[in-house]
Amino acid sequence: MSARRVKVGMAGLGRMGARHARNLAFRIPGAELVAGNSPSTEEREWASRELGAARVYADYAELLADRDVEAVFIATPTTEHATQIIAALEAGKHVFCEKPTSLALADCLRVEEVARRHPKLKAMIGYVRRFDPSYRDAYARVAQGAIGTPFLVKSQTTDKHDPSGFFVKFAPKSGGIFLDMSVHDIDTARWFLGGIRPLRAFATGTVAVHEGLKACGDLDNGVAMVEFEGGKMAVLQASRTMPHGHETSAEITGTTGRLTIGAGARSNRVEIADGTGIRHECTPTFYERFEEAFLLELSAFVDAVRDDTPLPLSLRDATEATRIGLAIQQSLATRRSVDIEPSA
């Protein structure tokens, strides 16, 4: 293949960062992983050994100083995102960052502002469902008018119950269940409804299983509604206690049809008939569900960098997901519907 490879550096080599790094190293033909960065010695050793990355830095600043690196991929804790995105842009690097931009609206806006000052650099937040083949197929159908005018999006992010309660320790810094999980669903709703203005939100939720969440005021199950202008609506569900698997799904209803994406969460094409009836098993985590989408997401970003083509979602889209997520969390805290101010 004659086309050149984009030289990339991976910041963050934890669970998600390691997956992205491995994909960039071996499964994205348009990318060449030239550097990595992690504060963890163990993670740096893993990257040197497994990825053949020439240079693995302890400091993020070193990664940015690496002249070879054209594009930075960030999969660090959310609290680092805004600062690291801004630093990357100011170092002249294209930047891809895991969702969300930030839990603070001001930080999201600051990222947008810096990006505007670097119009030649690509910057994208990784709302992965936008790259999933099934979500894309549904979106293409909507665009072709297959369901008339869409007016209702029901979307859920529901994780399989993890008896270890591993995630409980991350809850205090997660921003709450809706900011942590439902930003994906908010982005899905905005994508399918056309990026229109949200008017108000209402939410409720409960600790159904993980009592440990009560200490930080978080929940393991919640539902929310968002009303948009023009009679558009979204219903969101977040759960950390599904018995059967990770079942991220969405239902888009329009005036002449309805599309459902991901319902059933089939892990593969096998169906089992036994004493329990007829059943299929389900994708255990978001990673099995979206493995192909993660590849396509990285490829799309790399291609946009190489060919200087537009990205399918903007930093503003990511800001809006945070902004609506914050309103939902506020409704949860006040137990009242919350009006959402127009964005600047």
In the bound state with a copy of itself, the residue whose beta carbon lies nearer, of 273 and 344, is: 273
* CA–CA separation, 110 and 86 (whole Å): 8
In the bound state with a copy of itself, the residue whose beta carbon lies nearer, of 176 and 245, is: 245
In the bound state with a copy of itself, the residue whose beta carbon lies nearer, of 90 and 137, is: 137
CB of 58 to a copy of itself, least distance (A): 22
In the bound state with a copy of itself, the residue whose beta carbon lies nearer, of 167 and 202, is: 202
CB of 235 to a copy of itself, least distance (A): 5
Lookup result for tokens 């991929």: 73
- What are the tokens at 252? 């888009």
* CA–CA separation, 337 and 181 (whole Å): 20
In the bound state with a copy of itself, the residue whose beta carbon lies nearer, of 56 and 103, is: 56
- Count of residues for the chain? 344
CB of 226 to a copy of itself, least distance (A): 9
Question: DSSP code of 173?
Answer: G
186 closest CA partner among 107, 112, 123, 130: 130
What residues contact 2, with CB distance under 8 A and at least 6 apart? none
300 closest CA partner among 150, 133, 61, 79: 133
Cα distance from N-terminal residue to C-terminal residue, the chain: 45
CB of 87 to a copy of itself, least distance (A): 30
CB of 121 to a copy of itself, least distance (A): 27
